[in-house]
């Protein structure tokens, strides 16, 4: 399979599982095109032209020719300098690795991570938050995340890939869309009544069962096992955590339980104050589930030899 084909499928399937209406994704791409047409000089040269066709700023071919043939790929949640050196070392031993694939963004994908957070506005609207409130709260949070990312050494690992001549890509939101869609559909169908039932449903999923063995599986953060689950919201896509100020509004909109990969202390306190049940499914386990669901789609085109590492385990469905 060509590297460019893998990248294209990841984007295509990410859009298919995106929680936003497809019209909103089209609108975002059209806005990027309008913005690009207005640019001149150095600003136009520096513009990330991938954003004209790819709505996920955290998903990019970081290094390598899209025409590269990929047969063997080493895949992990965090694939940085150590993992790139590992791939090179394994190749010295005959592994013939053609691509290093990371889930968490690196390079331009990391620098522009806040750009994908706008999708959370439409997700909040789906759960009963008005467009005006969602925009106000998320714009504030997006600005906060952008400021926090500004000082990063974003291209450190990309430079290593270039020096090693190792094709390198990251696939973030398309995978997160898959886990969000999978779990939301599961809970919408089952409609568990108690929080204990929510946990039991997560525990039987292979990736979460593996997380339990490793001390990072599903657990109740706020609420009691016998508490009513109520309306369940899966909060696992859109770059990173949203606004801590949204929990009061979500409670008013009828959300009883939020299931996420991880939550900050501020988010935990806000949810607890609003008596919203909070379930931590497990960060790495959730990322792994999303990646596996996406890789299943990629492998419908062509089977690949996959070497899991950095917290990732391959589970096929």
- What average pLDDT does this structure show over 102-120? 96
Domains in the chain, number: 2
Same-domain status, 7 and 104: yes
- What average pLDDT does this structure show over 168-182? 98
216: CATH: 3.40.1390.30
pLDDT number for residue 62: 98
Same-domain status, 297 and 262: no
pLDDT digits (tens, 9 = 90+) for 11-50: 999 999 999 999 999 999 999 999 999 999 999 999 999 9
pLDDT number for residue 152: 95
pLDDT number for residue 211: 97
Q: Which residues pair with 305 in a beta bridge?
A: 72
pLDDT digits (tens, 9 = 90+) for 205-228: 999 999 999 999 999 999 999 999
Does any domain span residue 134? Answer: yes
Q: Which residues pair with 102 in a beta bridge?
A: 76, 170
Same-domain status, 132 and 257: no
Same-domain status, 16 and 144: yes
Average model confidence (pLDDT) for the chain? 96
- Domain span holding position 293: 3-171+287-308
Does any domain span residue 316? Answer: no
Neighbours of 313 (CB within 10 A): 17
pLDDT digits (tens, 9 = 90+) for 132-152: 999 999 999 999 999 999 999
% of the chain at pLDDT higher than 70:
100
Same-domain status, 141 and 13: yes
Does any domain span residue 244? Answer: yes
**Position 3 confidence tier, pLDDT thresholds 50, 70, 90:** very high
Does any domain span residue 314? Answer: no
- What average pLDDT does this structure show over 38-63? 96
- What average pLDDT does this structure show over 286-309? 97
- What average pLDDT does this structure show over 253-275? 93
Same-domain status, 34 and 162: yes
**Position 83 confidence tier, pLDDT thresholds 50, 70, 90:** very high
Same-domain status, 117 and 204: no
Same-domain status, 238 and 151: no
pLDDT number for residue 12: 97
Does any domain span residue 264? Answer: yes
Same-domain status, 199 and 132: no
Same-domain status, 266 and 295: no
Does any domain span residue 301? Answer: yes
**Position 111 confidence tier, pLDDT thresholds 50, 70, 90:** very high
Same-domain status, 243 and 128: no
Does any domain span residue 60? Answer: yes
Same-domain status, 9 and 141: yes
Q: Which residues pair with 255 in a beta bridge?
A: 231
Does any domain span residue 103? Answer: yes
Q: Is 167 helix (H, G, I), strand (E, B) or coil?
A: coil
pLDDT number for residue 313: 98
């Amino acid at each position: 399979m060509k590297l460019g084909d893998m990248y294209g499928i990841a984007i295509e399937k990410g859009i298919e599982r995106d929680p936003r209406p497809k019209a909103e994704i089209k609108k975002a791409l059209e806005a990027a095109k309008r913005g690009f047409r207005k640019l001149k000089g150095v600003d136009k040269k520096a513009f990330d032209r991938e954003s004209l066709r790819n709505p996920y700023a955290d998903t990019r071919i970081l290094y390598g020719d899209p025409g590269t043939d990929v047969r063997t790929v080493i895949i992990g949640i965090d694939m940085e300098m150590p993992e790139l050196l590992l791939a090179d070392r394994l190749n010295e031993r005959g592994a013939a690795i053609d691509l290093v694939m990371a889930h968490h963004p690196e390079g331009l994908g990391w620098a522009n991570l806040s750009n994908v957070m706008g999708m959370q506005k439409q997700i909040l609207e789906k759960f009963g938050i008005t467009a005006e409130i969602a925009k106000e709260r998320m714009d504030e949070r997006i600005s906060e995340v952008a400021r926090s990312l500004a000082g990063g050494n974003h291209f450190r690992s990309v430079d290593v890939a270039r020096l090693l001549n190792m094709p390198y890509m990251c696939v973030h939101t398309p995978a997160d869309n898959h886990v969000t869609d999978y779990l939301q559909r599961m809970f919408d169908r089952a409609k568990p009544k108690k929080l204990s039932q929510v946990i039991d449903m997560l525990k039987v999923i292979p990736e979460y069962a593996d997380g339990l063995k490793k001390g990072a599986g599903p657990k109740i953060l706020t609420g009691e096992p016998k508490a009513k689950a109520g309306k369940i919201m899966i909060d696992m896509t859109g770059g990173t955590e949203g606004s801590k100020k949204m929990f009061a509004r979500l409670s008013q909109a009828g959300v009883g339980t939020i299931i996420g990969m991880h939550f900050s202390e501020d988010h935990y306190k806000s949810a607890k104050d609003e008596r919203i049940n909070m379930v931590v499914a497990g960060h790495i386990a959730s990322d792994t589930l999303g990646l596996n669901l996406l890789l299943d789609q990629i492998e419908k085109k062509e089977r690949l030899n996959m070497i899991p590492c950095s917290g990732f385990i391959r589970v096929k469905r």
